[in-house]
Amino acid sequence: MAAVLSARLVVERDGFLLDVSIEAAAGEVVALLGPNGAGKTTALRALAGLVRLSRGEIVLDGEAIHEHPAERRSVGMVFQDYLLFPHLSALDNVAFGPRCQGTPKARARDQARDWLERVGLGAHLHARPRELSGGQAQRVALARALAVRPRLLLLDEPLAALDAHTRLEVRAGLRRHLEDFGGATVLVTHDPLDAMVLADRLVVVENGAIVQQGSPAEVARQPRTDYVARLVGLNLYRGVAAGHRVTIAGALTLSAAEELSGPVFVAFPPSAVALFRTRPDGTPRNTWAATIAGVERHGDQFRVSLDGPLSVSADVTAAAVADLGLLPAQEVWVAVKATETHAYPA
């Protein structure tokens, strides 16, 4: 598919530099994922025309739009706080865009009615934004952005303002609408689940730069930064491989399942980590002594964080915690099966 959106965004502001290149094809959903302050929202606002580019360009459907003001770009945006006009009903909110495009009032309202019915809010046409629930407001905001028939749809943390239960339903609905949308979509999120469910491609942004891109599955399987690793719940380390042996930070040598050489990442899930009172003598090749730093509930299990040559997270059952009497500052032995590790080139 030929790219619909091709942008290089460079924004320098208050000592912060954002320099990312983003591409999206028609019908593709690209998620910008990253910690707070990484610059994802700035990138989105630059695409919308609300932030000026210091350098770079934005090309949408072959047209260079980076010099155009926001109102001349064929862009629809859903804001984190929805920003529905408080003095207009849901119907008039959605009709606002078409009317700005020159559509007569009556026809714009008909179009708005269609959109609102499509997102399942046909019964709330005349409600004011303050009368809507969070989930309903989110859908109105989406309908409002889609009603202008944009070529590029931008979503800024679309589900952040919702509680966990509403988020489940709305996420599913949003996925359907994004699939129906024919243009390119760029969405910003810090929730990995949003990214996994909604996105065709993930772009991880940290400190104003892209640190990893790929499909959600690729990124989850092979995280390249601590942030992503934490996000997907893996233990991640950088080291140097020589065959099956990986030396990490010059401190510890792990046995890996793959055979590689040169700089590598090694990742394994907390569930692959076993804890022993005494030094184990068995098949696991990777064992070392560590000190317990903390024990926390994690779902119906416990996550133990350990200090030592490597900082590791281990998932153990409640029974195990009780049996072993696992407490902070206690010394234990850590073992990780090589077959459960995953090494890949850095």
Partner 1 sequence: MRGRTPWGLAVPAVAGMAFLVLPLAGLLVRAPWPTLLVRLAEPRVVEALRLSLLTATAATALCLVLGVPLAWLLARAAFPGRGLVRALVTVPLVLPPVVGGVALLLVFGRNGLAGRWFAGVFSLPFTTAGVVVAEAFVAMPFLVISVEGTLRAADLRYEEAAATLGASRWTVFRRVTLPLVAPGVTAGAVLCWARALGEFGATITFAGNFPGTTQTMPLAVYLALENDPDAAIVLSLVLLAVCVAVLAALRDRWIRA
Of the residues 79, 115, 237, 302, which one makes contact with partner 1 according to CB under 8 A: 79
Q: Say whether residue 81 binds partner 1 (CB under 8 A).
A: yes
DSSP codes, 231-275? HHT-EEEEEEEEEEEEEETTTEEEEEEEEEEEEEEEEE-GGGEEE
Longest dimension (CA), the chain: 80
Contact 34, 190 (CB under 8 A): yes
Of the residues 38, 48, 174, 306, which one makes contact with partner 1 according to CB under 8 A: 48
Q: Say whether residue 130 binds partner 1 (CB under 8 A).
A: no
- Chain residues 53-72 in contact with partner 1, contact rule CB under 8 A: 69-72
* Strands laid side by side in the 342-345 sheet: 235-248, 252-268, 342-345
Of the residues 12, 17, 21, 100, which one makes contact with partner 1 according to CB under 8 A: 100
Q: Say whether residue 96 binds partner 1 (CB under 8 A).
A: yes
Nearer Cβ to partner 1, position 52 or 72?
Answer: 72
Q: How far is the CB of 92 from partner 1 (least distance, A)?
A: 10
Interface segment toward partner 1; rule CB under 8 A; list 97-105, 176-184, 237-245, 265-273: 97-105
Q: Say whether residue 77 binds partner 1 (CB under 8 A).
A: yes
Specify the residue for token string 């009556």. Answer: 106
Specify the amino acid at residue 287: T
Specify the residue for token string 């893996």. Answer: 234
249 - beta bridge partners?
A: none
CA Rg value for the chain: 24
Q: Say whether residue 131 binds partner 1 (CB under 8 A).
A: no
Contact 45, 59 (CB under 8 A): no
Count interface residues toward partner 1 (CB under 8 A).
25
Q: What residues contact residue 283 under an 8 Å CB cut-off, 6+ apart?
A: 337
Q: Say whether residue 172 binds partner 1 (CB under 8 A).
A: no
Specify the residue for token string 């998932």. Answer: 315
- Taking each continuous run of H as one helix and of E as one strand, the counts in the chain are 9, 18
Of the residues 29, 146, 148, 205, which one makes contact with partner 1 according to CB under 8 A: 148
Contact 209, 43 (CB under 8 A): no
Interface segment toward partner 1; rule CB under 8 A; list 74-82, 227-235, 266-274, 332-340: 74-82
- Chain residues 235-294 in contact with partner 1, contact rule CB under 8 A: none
Interface segment toward partner 1; rule CB under 8 A; list 31-39, 85-93, 190-198, 211-219: 85-93
Nearer Cβ to partner 1, position 71 or 300?
Answer: 71
Contact 130, 86 (CB under 8 A): yes
* Closest C-alpha among 152, 157, 24, 133 to residue 79: 157
Q: How far is the CB of 78 from partner 1 (least distance, A)?
A: 9
Q: How far is the CB of 116 from partner 1 (least distance, A)?
A: 16
Of the residues 101, 133, 207, 215, which one makes contact with partner 1 according to CB under 8 A: 101
List of residues contacting partner 1 (CB under 8 A): 48-50, 69-73, 75-77, 79, 81, 83, 85-87, 96-97, 100-101, 144-145, 148, 154
